[in-house]
Structure 1
Amino acid sequence: MANEAQPCPCDIGDRIEYGGLGQEVQVEHIKAYLSKPPVDTGKAVIVIHDIFGWELPNTRYITDMITGNGYTAILPDFFAGQGAWNPADDFFTPFFAEWVKSRNARKIDKEFDAVLRYLRQQCGAQRIGVVGFCWGGIGVHHVMSTYSDVRAGVCVYGVVKDFGDIYNLKNPTLFIFAENDIAIPLEHVAQLTQKLKEHCKVEYHIKTFPGQTHGFVHRKREDCAPEDKPYIEEARRDLIEWLNKYV
């Protein structure tokens, strides 16, 4: 995501070759990737993608990982057909700033409502959580500040400066950050921590992973460096455990 006056690239990292275990479906006016567990548990998770969109194999991999833990998981196109960011384009131009303005992660209610209806009416979901990455992390913060019926959220390196002044979360939320994230400096994480202490009345947890960079949970190969693998696995495990506890 853009970082203050000087945008920093949201590096696509390792684009994995992954076909997916789910299927693409139409949810009212948007498309989505849907993954279902062998046995229906009545629990579902909505995954909000980053700027690289709903078709990124890495995010579909995470969606299937969530399904493997007993959830119907759905990864909708929250850009509503506008198209994802092209990694070949230049982040350091006014074009990126204009591009991201046209895709406001805090204005996704129309799409989110459609997905909620689909999960309840077509999938029989009774308990629903939400997980989001980067741009989608901002979306998670918005959802958890707005929708009291979403039981839990996991915000993975959601850009803190785009949260605004919304800190009164409705339900338990986990925030995952990377120590060496050029898009989210640690002072921003400290500010978020202080604001939540002052205003949040529900359970929340903020965890920063040492030595990691933006995208490490879903856009870095587990075998890229031996020292990174434990943190990648731990963050993914934390994500699932938070959902298991509160959804």
Structure 2
Amino acid sequence: MADTKITQAMIDAYDEYTHLTLDRRGFMARLTRLAGSGAAAAAIAPMLAANAAKAAMVAPDDARVVAEDVTYPGAGGEMKGYLVRPAGAEGRLPAIIVIHENRGLNPHIRDVARRLALEGFVALAPDFLSPLGGTPDDEEKARGMFGQLDRAAVAADGVATVAFLEAHARASGKVGAVGFCWGGGAVNDLAVASPALDAGVAYYGRQADTAEVAKIEAPLLLHYAGQDERINAGIDAYRAALETAGKVFTIHVYDGVQHAFNNDTSEARYDAAAAKLAWERTLAFFREHLA
């Protein structure tokens, strides 16, 4: 229907709501104006949001993986996480930290961890809301909790996660990290904070402080969405800082796609072609640097 057509302005409003200062009421009011009616806005809002009911690419009970909820020492207290490995794998495997978006450790991120396990990695998806009691079932509540997190404390918990995986009995000692949205920014910060990190992949994430770039040791693979002005505003300065510091990095910008293009639970923003290409590049990058 014409009145449910999703426009860039609607996507921008959702981005402001999920990442900046617009609250739920303000978002729905703006969406109603853009859509032309409250009924149209009500139909469009779920298409913009992630849908937790979407089927996982790898089912939680898939016999090809062994998955468990774990706890381990963080920098300032106990961390919760979801640990997955391929079933029947012999020997030690490289490990990858999977860092969630600003909705916390939800079913989609657990699914991404299982996907990585099927590719031959030990995957750990930490819950960075652990210091606040963990990710709640209510995603709106989870979103509000992220403002309570201290950026340096998050990086310190990331460093502790690297150390946990380095010493894990099933892992080879090589540790990478991949993050999405909020988690992409956390990967960039982790690369600054942890010289032990062996590879980092950030999907449409906030860049690290350019003054801290010289501390980065890990090679980086940075995926950006072409239609993502807020995040992309920092690309040029980050690229210049990485080049000046002589760091190993690759930047890909996927033209015409939206922030969160990799999240297949988000109907309006998911782009299958870009997600497939970025995932193939991500796997090749990890296989090169975590071998």
TM-score normalised to structure 2 length: 0.69
1:17 aligns with 2:55: yes
Q: Closer, same or farther in 2 for the Cα pair 1:43/1:33, shift >3 Å? A: same
CA distance in 2, matches of 1:122, 1:114: 16
CA drift at 1:203: 1.2
CA distance in 2, matches of 1:113, 1:7: 30
Candidates 189, 192, 195, aligned match of 2:238: 192
Candidates 67, 73, 83, aligned match of 2:117: 67
Equivalence for 1:205: 250
- The worse-fitting range, judged by mean Cα deviation, of 67-76 and 138-147 is 138-147
CA drift at 1:9: 2.1
Equivalence for 1:147: 194
Indicate the structure (1 or 2) with the bigger Cα radius of gyration.
Answer: 2
CA distance in 1, matches of 2:162, 2:271: 35
Tell me the alpha carbon deviations over residues 163-215 of structure 1, each in whole angstroms, 9 at most, x when there is no partner: 4532222120011110112541x33222222222222x231011111111111
CA drift at 1:157: 1.1
Contact 1:106 1:138 in 2 (8 A): no
CA distance in 1, matches of 2:81, 2:109: 12
Q: Closer, same or farther in 2 for the Cα pair 1:180/1:195, shift >3 Å? A: same
Q: Closer, same or farther in 2 for the Cα pair 1:213/1:220, shift >3 Å? A: farther
SS of 1:23 mapped into structure 2: strand
CA drift at 1:43: 0.8
SS of 1:158 mapped into structure 2: coil
Equivalent residue pairs, number: 230
CA distance in 2, matches of 1:231, 1:78: 27
CA distance in 1, matches of 2:194, 2:250: 19
Q: Closer, same or farther in 2 for the Cα pair 1:104/1:12, shift >3 Å? A: farther
Contact 1:179 1:208 in 2 (8 A): yes
SS of 2:97 mapped into structure 1: strand
Contact 2:92 2:169 in 1 (8 A): no
Structure with more helix by fraction? 2
CA distance in 2, matches of 1:89, 1:150: 31
Higher relative contact order (CA closer than 8 Å, sequence separation 6+): 1
Equivalence for 1:30: 79
Over aligned residues, Cα RMSD in angstroms? Answer: 2.8
CA drift at 1:53: 0.8
CA drift at 1:236: 1.1
The percent of aligned pairs where both chains have the same amino acid is 21
Q: Closer, same or farther in 2 for the Cα pair 1:13/1:44, shift >3 Å? A: same
Unaligned runs of 5+ in 2: 1-11, 20-47
- The worse-fitting range, judged by mean Cα deviation, of 172-181 and 6-15 is 6-15
Contact 1:13 1:215 in 2 (8 A): no
1:135 aligns with 2:182: yes
1:218-233 correspondence to structure 2 within 5 Å: 218-220=263-265, 228-233=271-276
SS of 2:95 mapped into structure 1: strand
Contact 2:222 2:250 in 1 (8 A): yes
Candidates 173, 178, 187, aligned match of 2:220: 173
Q: Closer, same or farther in 2 for the Cα pair 1:90/1:131, shift >3 Å? A: closer
SS of 2:125 mapped into structure 1: strand
Contact 2:113 2:123 in 1 (8 A): yes
SS of 1:51 mapped into structure 2: coil
Equivalence for 2:98: 47
CA distance in 1, matches of 2:152, 2:210: 10
Q: Closer, same or farther in 2 for the Cα pair 1:172/1:74, shift >3 Å? A: same
Equivalence for 1:77: 127
1:57 aligns with 2:100: no
SS of 2:224 mapped into structure 1: strand
Unaligned runs of 5+ in 1: none
CA distance in 1, matches of 2:249, 2:149: 27
CA drift at 1:220: 4.5
TM-score normalised to structure 1 length: 0.80
Contact 2:95 2:171 in 1 (8 A): no
